[in-house]
Structure 1
Amino acid sequence: MSHSDVEQMRMPRRRDTQERRDKMIAAAQREFAARGADASLEKIARDAGVAIGTLYRHFPTRLDLLMAAFKPRLQEFLDRANRALAMDDPWDGFVYYLENLFSMQAGDRGFNDFLSRRFPHNPETECIHDQMCQHIEDVLARAQQAGKARPDITQADIVNLIWSLGRIVDATSTTAPKAWRRYLHLMLDAYRAERAHSLPEPPMTTEQLYDAMVHLNETQ
């Protein structure tokens, strides 16, 4: 049997394997969006028409499947963050960044969970979260340097807003799916420089914020 004959035999198997993988990712995207990052892997496997063992052969851990499912949304999120940084008006860029962040959260409970937590033993997710945190710092710093955002707001305050609005998204998703926009814009008013007044507590430190995100993951 020639080498070309062997390759022709392998091609259908490779195609079948890729199709099976695509079905698992599509099923995971649907289930994570509806149920969150802790959705049943068994149901994902059933929806994809494969055994749970097949799912684990392709994705050894839940985090591997989460990353495969969220990859397109993560890229879209990071691209839009760069767009916010390129906007001429720093305050408009800050508002655009947060509007985009929460609109993506509102349509996908799993993505909401992913952005809210830290996974300290996974370098890939750590890199993505570091990029997200850097974007937050950059869009916020531009608005502060332009005198539009109050100077005492920090990255930790924005992450706390992610947690807060995430709960609102969960609570209102079926009854008032756009309610989160009201509360986002109430907070944006509070972030304006002309509204600033002294606060009774200092912001969380970087270490406190990181530990809180890890703890949130561990308690789910």
Structure 2
Amino acid sequence: MADRLRADAQRNRVALLAAAREVFGEHGLDASLDEIARRAGVGNATLYRRFPTRRDLIAEVFAGQMTGYVELAETALAEPDPWAAFVSYLTRLFEIQATDRGLSELLVTTGFDEDERLAGLLATAQRGATEVIRRAQSAGRLRGDFTRQDISLLMRANAGVLRSSADPGAWRRQLALVLDGLGAR
């Protein structure tokens, strides 16, 4: 923040962000703001003073995690085997979905384009994903008609598996089946 916060205000801000990460991770982006304030040990007025809108809070909470999403592609691009890079990229993406409902929802939501920070991170991540896909296709390992937009479709399908399956590891089976179908023949 541009202006320096008092020590108690800074503690409240840190507590609110930690509580929001936890609550959004458990319940998704529509989680109760009252629950976030309660877990942070502050009143609702403190929450709204620091973060006037839900979007402000979400942007602040997920900017760091979106940086991690950008790094997924960078890590995959460092892998010399393009197919292994693609598989590890999708696997890690699905793991993120399985462990953080809020980030999972954010990655398939289009409503945060007006936040420059999140939009910039998303655009960088999408460029990286496109390059991971291109490398696997150029190596003849990934079907030629697969696009970055297909990753969004796969994530939406995976979100359904996560919501509806009693088996918390069911996404791994779905991913194995998907990867088998995506390999170039």
How does the TM-score come out when normalised to structure 2? 0.92
Cα distance in 2 for partners of 1:98, 1:25 equals 28
The residue type paired with residue 186 of structure 1 is L
Match for 1:95 among 87, 92, 97?
87
The residue type paired with residue 159 of structure 1 is S
The residue type paired with residue 153 of structure 1 is F
The answer for unaligned runs of 5 or more in structure 2 is none
Cα distance in 1 for partners of 2:102, 2:179 equals 25
**SS state at 1:193 partner:** coil
Partner residue, 2:175:
184
Match for 1:113 among 102, 105, 115?
105
Q: CA deviation at 1:106?
A: 0.5
The verdict on how the C-alpha distance between 1:135 and 1:92 changes in structure 2, with shifts beyond 3 A counting, is same
The residue type paired with residue 163 of structure 2 is D
Superposed CA deviations along residues 52-85 of structure 1, whole A, max 9, x for unmatched, are 1211111122122112222332222222320101
The residue type paired with residue 63 of structure 1 is R
Match for 1:33 among 14, 21, 25?
25
Identity of paired residues, percent? Answer: 40
Cα distance in 1 for partners of 2:164, 2:60 equals 27
The residue type paired with residue 134 of structure 1 is R
Q: CA deviation at 1:132?
A: 2.3
Residues 63-142 of structure 1 aligned to structure 2 (within 5 Å): 63-118=55-110, 119-142=112-135
Superposed CA deviations along residues 103-124 of structure 1, whole A, max 9, x for unmatched, are 0110011011000111232222
Cα distance in 1 for partners of 2:179, 2:88 equals 11
Cα distance in 2 for partners of 1:71, 1:124 equals 7
The residue type paired with residue 142 of structure 1 is R
Cα distance in 2 for partners of 1:122, 1:42 equals 23
Cα distance in 2 for partners of 1:140, 1:81 equals 10
The answer for unaligned runs of 5 or more in structure 1 is 1-10, 195-220
Match for 2:158 among 127, 145, 165?
165
Cα distance in 2 for partners of 1:104, 1:120 equals 21
Q: CA deviation at 1:128?
A: 2.0
Partner residue, 1:200:
none
Q: Are the aligned partners of 2:70 and 2:122 in contact in 1 as well (CA < 8 Å)?
A: no
Q: CA deviation at 1:45?
A: 0.9
Partner residue, 1:45:
37
The verdict on how the C-alpha distance between 1:80 and 1:155 changes in structure 2, with shifts beyond 3 A counting, is closer
Superposed CA deviations along residues 120-162 of structure 1, whole A, max 9, x for unmatched, are 3222222122122212211000000000001111111111001
Residues 203-214 of structure 1 aligned to structure 2 (within 5 Å): none
**SS state at 2:134 partner:** helix
Cα distance in 2 for partners of 1:135, 1:170 equals 28
Partner residue, 1:152:
145
Cα distance in 1 for partners of 2:159, 2:64 equals 21
Cα distance in 2 for partners of 1:90, 1:182 equals 22
Alignment size in residue pairs:
181
